[in-house]
Each structure stands twice: as C-alpha cells, then as structure tokens.
Amino acid sequence: MNALTVCVPAYNAGRTLETTMRSILSQDVDFELLVVDNASTDATGEVAASFDDNRIRRFRNDETLSIGDNWNKTVALSTGRLVKVVCADDVLRPDALAFQLEVMRNEQVAICSARFDVIDEQDGVEESGLGLPGLDGIRTTREVMRTIVRHGPAEFGPTAAAMFYREHFDRVGGFRGDLVFPMDVDLFARVCTFGVFFGMTDIVAAWRNSSFNLCSRSSTVSKLTEMARFHHRLRGEFPGRVARADVVAGDARLVRAALERVRVRASMTMRRPDLP
C-alpha cells in the first residue's frame, strides 16, 4: 500500500490538466497519482497519457458519471492510506505534500487543510493566503463544523487543500453527491469525527477562478439552495456539534448573498435593459 494517493477526477479538463499534473508530479515525496477521465470528449485522455511517469495510474470511464459517483470511484481506485483529491483545474504549491504528510504523522489528526491562493485562467494569482477562518492548529470537530456552516465552503478552502485517511472516507460512505456544491466540506466534516482537525498556515494549493469550472457554471440559486439544505442536514446528523445558532447564522449569510445577487442583477439590467 502506498502512503499517499493524489486523486484527480477529470472531465473535459484538457486545457488545465497538464498544469495540474505537473504541479503534483513536481512534489518531492513518495505517492501515486491517480487520474480518472470521466469519459471526456476533449483532449483530457491525451493529456493524461502524455506523461511518462511510473507514479501515474490512469483510468477512463466508459460513460460519464455524476460528479459524486466519479469522485467516489476515483478514491475507491486509490491504494494510499492517505488521500488528497485535486480538481483537474487546480494546482499544488511546491512542497505541499511534504508539509501535509508531516502534519499527518500525528495520528490524532484525522484531516488537515491549509491556506490557498486563487488563480485566474492564465495562472496569475488573484488572491493569496485565503481559507480556514479561525481554524489554525489543532481544532475539534465542533469547531470545524461550526466554521463550515457559518462561513461556507468558499471561505473554508478547496478540496485540493485537504488531506485525509482512505479508511475514514470509506467508513463515512464517501462523497454525498446529492449536494454538489458543499460535497467536499460535507466529507471533511464527517471524517473529522475520527480525530482532530489541523489547520495549516502554509499555502499548499491554488483554486482556479475560471469561466469553465463547475462552480462558475452552477447557478447562484442552486448553490445557495444546496448550502441551506447542507446546513440543516449537518445539524440533524450532529446536533451536539452544530448548534441551531450556527444554522441561523449560516442561513442568514446565504440570504445576504442572494440579496446581493439580486442587487447586482438589477443594477446590470438598469444599465443593459436588453438583458433577459
């Protein structure tokens, strides 16, 4: 068994996958890189096959799976005791894996995550040092769940910033793809129940702010609706760790986001009455 598997579920990621894979393969630790092409119709498969590196394992689905099913399949194919999932348009920063493997040597830590950058479509840094509000160092499951509900996944950090145990992933049933937008933080909250969380001040990953990723292609209404459902589900499953006040605060944040979206849309319509 490998110590670590870096999982890259990829769908029509031909324009970014090479950068993502290079950022992973440049890491100076032992790991396997697992790339699962979700029956892409672009050059994703060709890009993945262009690397000659014995650390890479490649698979291609016969048909396109839902994002939850594809991510679960990717982790299921992993052989590492530890797992990191990196979206096919995000990147790892130098020494990211070494920093996180050192943290995970403490067997009390069930999951660690870290700061992140936001990059644009040309890899330029838009923002730096984001993530983990109030979660530096060792934190309890309650603190993690409370922060996720109150602040949301965007402020918590991307999937690529986290590292967790395959065993814990299996025990909680993996990703729950019925709620796509909070799918990763939902997993993080549940695997954290097997130990403690460690928040790193290092910047280990970069999330790509692009016009072609799933986040940008999802409607604001669907994202806000999913987050509200997520808040109430987590509260129902972990009433001792997520308080009613946390859910109220989280839902209020969503209402403010929705109102701001309406304000911006109205302002744009006034300037451009031809908009639908």
Long-range CB pairs of 122-130, under 8 A, 24+ apart, other chains included: 123/19, 123/91, 125/206, 126/209, 128/203, 129/203, 130/155, 130/157
Give me the pLDDT at residue 270, please.
Answer: 55
Give me the pLDDT at residue 272, please.
Answer: 53
Long-range CB pairs of 61-68, under 8 A, 24+ apart, other chains included: 61/36, 61/37, 63/39, 64/11, 64/38, 64/39, 65/38, 65/39, 66/177, 67/9, 67/11, 67/177, 67/180, 67/183, 67/214, 68/175, 68/176, 68/177, 68/178, 68/180, 68/183
Give me the pLDDT at residue 269, please.
Answer: 60
**pLDDT tens figures, 96-111:** 999 999 999 999 999 9
Q: Which domains, from first to last, does the chain contain?
A: 2-209 (3.90.550.10)
Alpha carbons within 13 A on the beta-carbon side of 50: 11
Give me the pLDDT at residue 218, please.
Answer: 55
Give me the pLDDT at residue 220, please.
Answer: 77
Residue among 206, 202, 208 at smallest CA distance from 92 = 206
**3-state SS class at 2:** strand
Give me the pLDDT at residue 232, please.
Answer: 96
The dihedral of CA 187, 190, 195, 198: what is its sign?
A: positive
**pLDDT tens figures, 144-183:** 999 999 999 989 999 999 999 999 999 999 999 999 999 9
Give me the pLDDT at residue 257, please.
Answer: 86
pLDDT < 70 stretches in the chain: 1, 212-219, 263-276
DSSP state string for 61-106? -SSPPPHHHHHHHHHHT--EEEEEE--TT-EEPTTHHHHHHHHTTS
The full 3-state SS of 25-62, as one line of letters, equals HCCCCCCEEEEEECCCCCCHHHHHHCCCCCCEEEEECC
Q: Is 95 exposed, middle or buried (0-12, 13-18, 19+ CB in 10 A)?
A: middle
